[in-house]
């Protein structure tokens, strides 16, 4: 058995800083894992973390021109 906490659409929206419409769209388009509990959709916390991790964009590290020395 998993120890995942299951979040409502409203809780996920608050966590992501969006309206409830966004997680509902993720569910409808099957872009995030969810569990049906009766007529309600619940999203595991791990699914939210996976979604965020998969869409995290790392910054580009630029080289400074003065750091290279000629040999």
Interval 3-46: pLDDT, tens: 899 999 999 999 999 999 999 999 999 999 999 999 999 999 99
What is the domain range of residue 37?
6-54
Residue recorded with tokens 């619940």? 42
67 in any annotated domain: no
Residue 68 lies in a domain: no
Tell me whether residue 35 is in a domain: yes
Residue 41 lies in a domain: yes
Residue 71 pLDDT > 70, yes or no?
no
Residue 70 has pLDDT above 70, yes or no: no
On whether residue 60 sits in a domain, the answer given is: no
> Would residue 61 count as lying in a domain?
no
Does residue 65 have a pLDDT over 90? Answer: no
Is residue 63 in some structural domain? Answer: no
What pLDDT does 8 receive? 98
Nearest CA to 10 among 21, 71, 65, 52?
21
Q: Which of 2, 59, 61 is nearest to 33 (CA)?
A: 2
Separation between Cα atoms, residue 6 and residue 45, nearest integer Å: 6
| DSSP designation for 19 | -
**Mean pLDDT to the nearest integer, 50-64:** 92
Q: Give how many domains the chain has, as a whole number.
A: 1
């Amino acid at each position: 058995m998993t120890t995942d906490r299951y979040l409502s659409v409203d809780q996920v929206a608050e966590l992501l800083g969006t309206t409830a419409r966004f997680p509902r769209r993720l569910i409808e388009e099957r872009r995030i894992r969810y569990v049906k509990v009766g007529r309600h959709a619940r999203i595991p916390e791990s699914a939210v973390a996976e979604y965020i991790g998969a869409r995290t964009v790392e910054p580009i590290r630029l080289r400074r021109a003065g750091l290279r020395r000629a040999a």
